[in-house]
């Protein structure tokens, strides 16, 4: 079965697809034939994620999900948070955002930070939210060439390398997005084995899906709302 991920960021599609595995095919907006840049005007990750998923649900009639991510830096009182993409202005340049963050932090020894991802799933008109958090620290200068966004300056707790120095598989051992995606997948499994008339393809019959391979049970969704 395919599900639309309401994003134009191919890095995110690849990360979520790698986290979810082969049980569900995740397609981005361009693959779904949708050419739209959905704004993120709200003050919370939750509201931005909701806006994106409901916009695409109404446009396509298909169940879909979206996500919004923020980098929260303790020494900057939780900045950049929801404004992470626009931190250095509307240009959305990864380099400029990194430059501005490092400048603001200066030589402050408190480098603690976390990525927080909120996923909004709209399934047959009903919304469910999931959250994933990755604690870590901010480097004093960028390291590595891989990944995207703030990856070159973020080292997750439990490792010594920046996300930009890791393979996708390695990043997904720690990633905020993977943690939220784990919950999404568990929840989708519970929805009658993905069976739904609003999926983009005929779904397998109830009970035909493999059971969870991981022994740990992800946390339940953070909230649920019917469409209003």
Of 35, 37, 43, 68, the catalytic one is 68
Nearer to ligand IMP, 83 or 201 (CB): 83
- Site residues (CB under 6 A) for ligand IMP, limited to 101-160: 115, 147-151
Which of residues 57 and 163 has its CB atom nearest to ligand IMP in the complex? 163
| H helix intervals, the chain | 10-20, 45-60, 94-105, 168-174, 176-190
Non-local CB neighbours of 180 within 8 Å, separated by 6+ positions: 67, 117, 118, 119, 130, 131, 132
Say whether residue 66 binds ligand IMP (CB under 6 A).
no
Catalytic (active site) residue 110: no
**Gap between the Cα atoms of 99 and 141, Å rounded:** 9
User: How big is the site for ligand IMP, counted in residues (CB under 6 A)?
Assistant: 17
51 near ligand IMP, judged by CB under 6 A? no
CA 172 to the chain's CA centroid: 11
Tokens of 182: 């784990």
- Tell the residue number behind the tokens 């740990």, with chain if given: 216
Least separation, in Å, of the C-beta of 68 and ligand IMP? 5
Point out which residues pair with 154 in neighbouring strands: 138
What amino acid positions are annotated as catalytic residues? Answer: 68
Binding site for ligand IMP (CB under 6 A): 9, 40, 68-69, 71, 84-85, 94, 97, 115, 147-151, 163, 177
């Amino acid at each position: 079965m395919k599900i639309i991920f309401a994003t134009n960021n191919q890095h995110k599609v690849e990360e979520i697809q790698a986290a979810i595995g082969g049980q569900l095919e995740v397609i981005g907006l361009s693959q779904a034939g949708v050419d739209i840049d959905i704004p993120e005007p709200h003050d919370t990750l939750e509201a931005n994620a909701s806006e994106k998923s409901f916009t695409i649900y109404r446009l396509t009639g298909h169940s879909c999900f979206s996500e919004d991510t923020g980098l929260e830096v303790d020494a900057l009182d939780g900045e950049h948070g929801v404004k992470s993409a626009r931190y250095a202005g509307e240009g959305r340049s990864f380099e400029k955002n990194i430059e501005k963050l490092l400048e603001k932090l200066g030589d402050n020894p408190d480098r603690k930070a976390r990525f927080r991802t909120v996923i909004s799933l709209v399934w047959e008109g009903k919304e469910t939210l999931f959250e994933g958090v990755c604690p870590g620290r901010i480097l004093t200068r960028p390291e590595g060439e891989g990944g995207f966004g703030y990856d070159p300056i973020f080292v997750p707790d439990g490792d010594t390398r920046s996300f930009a120095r890791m393979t996708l598989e390695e990043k997904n051992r720690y990633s905020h997005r993977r943690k939220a995606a784990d919950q999404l997948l568990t929840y989708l499994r519970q929805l009658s084995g993905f069976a739904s008339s609003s999926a983009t393809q005929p779904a397998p019959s109830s009970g035909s899906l493999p059971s969870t391979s991981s022994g740990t049970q992800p946390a339940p969704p953070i909230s649920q709302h019917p469409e209003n």
